[in-house]
Chains A and B, each alone.
Chain A
Amino acid sequence: MRQQLEGSRAVAEAVQRCRPQVVAAYPITPQTHIIEHLAQMVADGELASEFVSVESEFAAASVVLGAVATGSRAFTASASQGLLLMTEVLFNIAGLRLPVVMVCANRAVGAPINIFSDHQDSMALRDAGWIQLYVESNQEAVDTVIQAYRIAETCELPVMICMDGFFLTHTFEPVDVPEQEAVDAFLPDFHFARTLDPAQPMTLGGGSEPDNYQEYRHAQHQAMVSAADEIDNINTEFTQSFGRDYGGLIDHYQLEEAEVVLVTLGSVMGAVKDVVDSLRGQGQSVGALRLRCFRPFPATHLVAALRNTRRIVVLEKAFSVGADGIVATELRAALHNAGVAIPVESFIGGLGGRDLTLSLIEEVFRAASAEPSANCRFAGLNSLPDDIPIIEET
């Protein structure tokens, strides 16, 4: 049944339906509402889970690591500085192949301190070994939580659901949270084969020497690469059960015969679709592609979807300082490796909560009609007058 819900509330209800036995989290804007709702559910007896109030995000990640290692389904959420404080533990969770599910309420990283949304926090953890799924709407956030537990527990890999802070977490919009019976039918109970059990002692996370560390890392990589098929399969199965389809690894809009394709991630895709409709109405053959799964990176899917287009513009809310847009760089490599020579132009925008307006998105599309630029550009940058000194001389 569709209801008008705040995004954080909707996500908390989806988590509740997945029956986590342990929830541990530390408050940080804009993630806080999610765990507040979960804490309330536990207090009201609506969620049979142990809610662990911790002293930091590092502890929150450590608690869910321990919980899953001992065979419990667990949930945590964070953002920005909080997510980065988890970093060491998040690498460990992935290396231990523990199916933890967390939500990152995407927020900019300081300094300067900024509570608003961009993707720098989760993008900074792109090498941590977590599956990363970026969602467009609160409906997709809800559905992706349910999919994430299936993906994580099938692949024995952790999953991070990345939802834009404020743009999604604080937005009331219609959402259908699936009924408990339907979620139970889709998501079987968690049985962890490597559960730590005093009755059958074993070591989890022992040391590794130069003669086998690389093999562990290779196995981790192989697991991530093969997770792509599972993400696709579970999305297909979800569509069969619930009637909603997010394309699995990539989602696209009006891609057929599009000469210019804008590639992006997250909630801005809604506005991009509105701009595509407007430009198509003016006779321009444009389309859009949304990278739903950033890790594992779906290189072959991207090449297959984009190989017949003429120009590609990437619009992303994070970048590697001193280098380029992250998705643009990886997409160029994927196309190059496949022998496809299509110019990929890199636009950075929407940083620290800056709104990517319809007119700005339209300008990014139009940039693709000019000569391709090799350098990344910042969309929507305010000009500073050149003649104002930063420090006044006395």
Chain B
Amino acid sequence: MNFDVNKDKRIFGQSDIAKSGKKVATSGLHEIRFHGRGGQGAVSAAALLSLAAFSDGFEAQAFPKFGSERRGAPVEAYVRISTIPIRRHNQVYQPDAVIIQDTTLLRSEPVFDGLEDGGLMILNAERRPETLGTKALRWVYLPANRISETFLGRPLPNTVLLGALAAATGWVSLAALEQAIGNHLVRKGEEVVTANINALREGYRITLEQEEAS
């Protein structure tokens, strides 16, 4: 990248430099980005994933990128899972996997940004979408709203999608996710914990079937 500090007082004036995040020393690092809407549990899902990865013996980091906190607004959350301590607190720009909790975000949010060919895209959808972007991604799609309604009585797709991620990647164990749900949701009572664990397992099962079929 060429720039002349004397030429332009507004140094680094190109927004693409600020937004691109070149990877440095990323061996043994998995980065995951969640796209959801406020109220769908993207932030909780990221926290749960980091808790599970940590109890599996990895270094882990999870954090949200809030807009204004309101129900329905687009929300991003990030997770890093690593074999070495994680020092940076930057957003995730080149995810290895993206989880989309709502299909409407495909149109409004830059969900494909930073995903490279072979990257994993997990989508909460009843069927395979017609337009899948231009990249050669690995797609997993499952009706997480419908599944979560069966177990939880309302559409809260996050634990179903975590099950899908565990099945598709193996980056985190199903047992650790179950344990994380049990600990994290303990104040909500046994019924909520059990329902979420069942939703998680169903997401895991469907994704394994889909992977075997493809």
Q: Which residues of A contact B (CB under 8 A)?
A: 3-4, 6, 29, 115, 137, 164, 166-168, 170-174, 267-271, 273-275, 277-278, 354-360, 362-363, 367, 370-371, 373, 375, 377-383
Contacts and interface: CB of A to CB of B under 8 A. Distances in A.
Given A4-B54, A357-B19, A382-B15, A271 B1 contact: no
Contacts of B24: 274-275, 277-278, 358
Interface residues of B, number: 44
Interface stretch (B4-12, B105-113, B132-140): B4-12
Nearest to A7: B63
Contact of B11 (A172, A268, A278, A378): A378
Interface string B31-70: 0000000000000001100110011000111111010110
Interface of B: 1, 3-6, 9-15, 17-25, 46-47, 50-51, 54-55, 59-64, 66, 68-69, 85-91, 93
Contact of A171 (B11, B23, B62): B62
A172 B47 contact: yes
A290 B59 CA distance: 24
Nearest to A117: B89
A363 B3 contact: yes
B129 to A, nearest CB: 29
Contact of B89 (A271, A370, A378, A382): A271
Nearest to B26: A274
Contacts of A367: 5, 11
Contacts of B9: 375, 377
A380 B55 CA distance: 37
Contacts of B91: 355
Nearest to A382: B15
A162 B194 CA distance: 40
Contacts, number: 129
Given A115-B68, A378-B12, 18 more contacts: A3-B54, A171-B89, A172-B63, A173-B86, A267-B89, A268-B89, A270-B89, A274-B25, A277-B24, A357-B93, A359-B17, A359-B21, A370-B6, A371-B6, A373-B6, A379-B11, A381-B12, A383-B14
Contact of B55 (A4, A168, A172): A4
5 contacts: A29-B69, A357-B20, A357-B21, A363-B1, A367-B11
B22 A173 contact: no
Given A171-B62, A172-B60, A378-B11, A4 B50 contact: yes
Given A168-B89, A174-B60, A277 B25 contact: yes
A172 B89 contact: no
Contacts of B60: 4, 172-174
A380 B17 contact: yes
B51 A4 contact: yes
Contacts of A29: 69
Contacts of A170: 63-64, 66
A34 to B, nearest CB: 16
A358 B66 contact: no
A357 B18 contact: yes
A11 to B, nearest CB: 15
B87 A270 contact: yes
